[in-house]
Amino acid sequence: MRTTLMIISALLILIVLLQQAKATDGANIITGGNSDLFKDRKERGSELFMTRVTVILGTAFFIICLIMSFE
């Protein structure tokens, strides 16, 4: 169980680091960027895939941690 948790943890870190950064309003104040152009843009292709994989790995990590806490 611990080995599976370590593998999921490593994959989750890797997937999160590979995702593109999404600027927030606080970051726009510092950089002066204007994200209104792509405000209503939907995720497609690899962005959607990466988001779904992140959700799946995060959920699996959470469930395994809960199971391990009751052992």
Domain span at residue 65?
1-15+44-71
Domain assignment present for residue 31? The answer is: no
Domain assignment present for residue 30? The answer is: no
Domain assignment present for residue 26? The answer is: no
Going by C-alpha positions, the residue among 55, 59, 35 that lies closest to residue 47 is: 55
pTM for the structure as a whole:
0.70
Q: Which H or E run includes 48?
A: helix 46-69
Q: Which residues are within 8 A (CB) of 28 and not within 5 positions of it... i.e. 6 or more apart?
A: 34, 35
Instruction: Tell me the average pLDDT across 56-65.
Output: 96
Domain assignment present for residue 11? The answer is: yes
Domain assignment present for residue 63? The answer is: yes
Q: Which H or E run includes 23?
A: none
Domain assignment present for residue 36? The answer is: no
Q: How many domains does the chain have?
A: 1
Domain assignment present for residue 56? The answer is: yes
Q: Which pLDDT tens digit goes with each residue over 3-48?
A: 999 999 999 999 999 887 665 555 555 665 555 555 656 667 888 8
Going 24 to 36 to 16 to 54, the CA torsion angle's sign is positive
Domain assignment present for residue 67? The answer is: yes
